[in-house]
Every structure is written in structure tokens, then in C-alpha cells.
Amino acid sequence: MITVTNIKKTYNKGQVTALKDISFSADKGELFGLIGPDGAGKTTLFRILTTLLLPDQGEANVNNYDIQKDYQQIRNCVGYMPGRFSLYQDLTVEENLNFFATVFGTTIKENYDLIKDIYQQIEPFKDRRAGKLSGGMKQKLALSCALIHKPSVLFLDEPTTGVDVVSRKEFWAMLKKLKQEGITILVSTPYMDEANLCDRIALIQKGEILSIDKPAGIVKAFPGDLYAVRASSTHRLLQNVRNYPNTATCFAFGDALHVTFKTPGSEPTALLDHLHKKDHPDVAIEKISPTIEDCFIHLLKN
């Protein structure tokens, strides 16, 4: 379990603020997600919690150990997978795993069942040097190495960045299983679609937490109704919808525009009429339920 209270961190003698007054907590066996764009402060937070950096202010505990005083105890019991691939490129897959197992005072055999699902996929390449693996395989190896000593808390900094869609799915399925083993997992990702797979998420932006809730709770908190607008000439459509006086927000999401209105009511039909006049004969509007991404953008706006 993790508790973070009013953590503040600056770089370059206070010129660059990475984290301002961050507080949250994750329970034992919880899969907690940090969702935010690049540069939001996710990695800094991971480094503080893994005792690699000291915060300027605030306190944090991991497994009831203080990150400053009891750093050695924390280092003994957590698993950490940094955002950048950090294994020995000139060692083979098996040598890497063996090394990290031994450093943590265990063996591959002892905890094999914990890593079996992921490690089996890279086992055919166990004699290959880690530097020669594909991106997804590297991440799987890194996760195996972070898990091999059966940590009670697992820190995963953007584990799925640069990984193909299928591997990402498998990766998250793995995390679900680890959670059932009672392992607390703090995971960060820039992918909004992965947010739904967490128990709870914190939306983080520019060193501040915008909202902490279950994914469903965050979606529920979205104010008003959201509409998807589709038409063939998307670019012209975006201009016209944005210029419509009663449009509150309008963002492009794939082939559709996600639109909210300043006043609720009969606005969708009014907009439809407006767009017909603006020469969009094939325009269609439907009410949709917001995604995490919609909520994130909404929170950023305010």
C-alpha cells in the first residue's frame, strides 16, 4: 500500500516544478493508475516512491515504511520497472532474469509461477541478447525482472509504451492476475483506453492531480451531455461547429467530433439545422457516453 501526502518536487533549484502538492493513496492489492500526458510528473512521482529521489516537501509511505528514513526496507520489498528499458543489453534474456533474481536473493525456479504467463512468451528467445529483442519483448522481460522476487508493491512506469496492441492486452491481463496475488500495483500510462482497466485512477497534468476516482466515477462526473457529430468533410465541419454560438467544447476524436453545449435541451437539433444550412448534407448527431479521455479534456479545460 502507498500513501502520498502533499508531495512537492522541483528541479533546477526550484525553477522547474515537477510535482505540486500531490496526495493520494492506494490500498493493498489495488491496481492504481496514473494517467497523464508526457511531462506530467509521473516518472518523478515513481522515483520519489521508489526512494530514488527525495521530495522537497511532503511525506510518503510504501508498505508503512517512510520513503526517507526507511529507504532500505522499501528497496527490499518493491518491484520497479522504469520507463526506459533498463536491462543489460549485452546479457541474454535468461542471464538478465537470473541476475535480478539473485540480486534479490531468490531464484527463477522459486517464483516461476508468478512470471510464467509473460516469461513463457519470451522463453524461446532466452539465449538472445536483451538488446536484440523487439520492443514488446523487452517490456515483457523487464516486467519479468521486476516481478521475479515477488514484490509486495509493484511500480510500473509506462510499461506499455511502444508495445503492440495485442501485447498491451496481455500485459493488462497479467496485471489483473498479479493483483489477485495481493500485489499493490501503481502503473502509469499515457493511453486513456488503459485507464478503464485500473481499479482507481488519478488524472495528472503539469504536476497536479486533477481528479482521483474509479474509472466509472470519473466518467459519471462528466457534466451535461456529450454528442458525437459526424460528416464527410471533417475539417470544415470542425470549423463550423466551433463557430456555432452555443458550442461549449468541440474536439476531434477519430472520425467524429465530441461536442458539448452551453445550454442543454433541444440544442442537437438546432445544431443539425445549422450544419445543414452550412452545406453538410450528410451530417449525423448522436448522444454518446463520455470516455475517460473526454473527462480528461474536460478537466483540462477548467
Q: Which chain residues interact with another protein by CB under 8 A?
A: 47, 50-54, 71-72, 75-76, 78, 80, 82, 84-91, 95, 98-100, 102-105, 145-146
Minimum separation from the CB atom of position 101 to another protein (A): 9
Minimum separation from the CB atom of position 131 to another protein (A): 10
161 or 205: CB nearest another protein: 161
89 or 246: CB nearest another protein: 89
User: ∠ CA(87), CA(90), CA(92), 5° rounding?
Assistant: 80
**DSSP at 92:** B
Orientation of helix 267-277 relative to helix 234-243, angle to 10°: 120
Closest CA to 228 of 176, 293, 178, 171: 293
Closest CA to 115 of 166, 153, 151, 76: 151
**DSSP at 204:** E
106 or 196: CB nearest another protein: 106
79 or 215: CB nearest another protein: 79
In this structure, are residues 2 and 23 in contact, taking their beta carbons and an 8 Å threshold? Answer: no
Minimum separation from the CB atom of position 182 to another protein (A): 20
90 or 164: CB nearest another protein: 90
Class of residue 190 by CB neighbours under 10 A (exposed 0-12, middle 13-18, buried 19+): middle
In this structure, are residues 167 and 139 in contact, taking their beta carbons and an 8 Å threshold? Answer: yes
Minimum separation from the CB atom of position 25 to another protein (A): 21
Minimum separation from the CB atom of position 121 to another protein (A): 21
Could you give the CA distance from residue 288 to residue 256 in angstroms, rounded to a whole number? 11
